[in-house]
Amino acid sequence: MSAKPYGLIATFDTTPSVYHAAEQVRDAGYKNWDCITPFPVHGLDKAMGVKRSNVPKFSLVGGILGFTTGMSLIFYTSYISYPLVVGGKPYFSPLFAFPVAYELTILFTAFATIGGMLFLNGLPMHYHPVLKSSKILSGMDDKFHIVIESSDPKFNLAQTKALLEKVGGKEIQELEA
């Protein structure tokens, strides 16, 4: 076994137990840790002290980029590159550029949202030390887990183990790095 484990994993049987355990781990001041649940648990993000995601900022940038791209595209094609009078309309008007700009706003916002989400999640992730543990199987079925990583500044093998025991964690194991 290597000198330093990736972290500690603890098992919980019920949703409330992992929820309240998460609150205590949060209050103990840990930062690099996570919960593994078979389904989304409402309010768990609050119990873990996770702030609101930064994805909307990516979306906003994508939206603004999409809108300006649409407007510039129509402006360039119909005013600069190939000016043509169509239906007595001016070469350029934001009115007929608007549907294009609107669609591109949506498209770019969607791209930025998905891309930003993957980027912030660190996805795609082909390997994670938790996958080495057999615990992950029950974590995808009917058990709940809390993983505290050794990279956390507050991590101390003995103390962290004690904390996980105190909050009701069972079968506490070290994860291989």
Partner 1 sequence: MSTHAATAHAALSPESTTSSGATKALGIGAIGIGLTLIGLFVSGGKIVAFSWLVGLTFWTAIAIGMLMLVMIHHILDASWSVVLRRQFEHGLAAFPWLALLFAPLVIVSWTGSHDLIWKWMNPDYVLASGHTVGHDPLYVKKSAFLNLPMFTVMTALCFIVWIWLSARLRKASFTQDADGDLKWTFMNRKTAAFGLALGAITLTLASIYWVKSLDYHWFSTMFGVWFFANCVRGALSIGVLLLLWLYARGDLKGVLNTNHLHSVGMLVFAFTVFWAYITFSQYFLIWNANIPEETFWYNLREITKAGEPSQWKYVGMLLLFGHFLLPFLYLLSYKNKIVHSRIKPIVIWILLIILVDMIYNIAPAVKDYSTGEPKPFLSISLLWTVTSVIGVGGVFFWAYFKSFAMTKLIPIRDPRIKECLTHHE
Residues that bind partner 1 (CB under 8 A): 42-43, 52, 56, 60, 87-89, 95-96, 98-99
Beta bridge partner(s), residue 11: 145, 170
Contact 144, 21 (CB under 8 A): no
Task: Name the minimum Å distance from CB 102 to partner 1.
Answer: 8
The full 3-state SS of 15-68, as one line of letters, equals HHHHHHHHHHHHHCCCCCEEEECCCCCCCHHHHHCCCCCCHHHHHHHHHHHHHH
Nearer to partner 1, 88 or 122 (CB): 88
Residue with tokens 């993000």: 45
Q: H or E segment at 73?
A: helix 55-75
| Amino acid identity at 129 | P
Task: Name the minimum Å distance from CB 60 to partner 1.
Answer: 7
The answer to whether the Cα torsion of 52, 54, 58, 60 is positive or negative is positive
Nearer to partner 1, 29 or 90 (CB): 90
Task: Name the minimum Å distance from CB 77 to partner 1.
Answer: 17
Task: Name the minimum Å distance from CB 42 to partner 1.
Answer: 5
Nearer to partner 1, 43 or 153 (CB): 43
Nearer to partner 1, 42 or 126 (CB): 42
